[in-house]
Amino acid sequence: MWTVVYVARNRQHGEKVKSRLEQEGLLVQLRTVKMSPDKPNCDIEVLVPRGEVQEAQEIIANILTHQ
C-alpha cells in the first residue's frame, strides 16, 4: 500500500523530492491532489510504499533542514 509522506507545493518541488528519494533507492509515486482555475500550481502528494515511510520521512527532513 502506498502512503503519503509529503505534500509539495507544485510539480517541480514534488519532482525534486521524488528524485532525492529515488537516489536513496526508494520507490516513489507522485499524485496531483488539487487543481483549480484560480491557482496556477497544484499540490503534489509524494507517496512511498508503507514499509519505506520512516526512511522517506528521515530523508525528507534532511532535505528540508538543508535548503
* CATH number where 48 lies: 3.30.70.260
Does pLDDT of 37 surpass 70? Answer: no
Taking 90 as the threshold, does the pLDDT of residue 66 lie above it?
no
pLDDT bin (cut points 50, 70, 90) of residue 15 is very high
Q: What is the number of domains present in the chain? A: 1
Mean pLDDT (whole number) for 40-57: 93
Whether 58 contacts 24, CB under 8 Å:
no
Residue among 67, 64, 57 nearest 26 (CA): 57
pLDDT at 39: 64
Residue 52 gets which letter from DSSP? G
| DSSP 8-state class, residue 27 | -
Q: What range defines the domain where residue 19 resides?
A: 2-65
User: For residue 10, which of 43, 32, 37 has the smallest C-alpha distance?
Assistant: 43
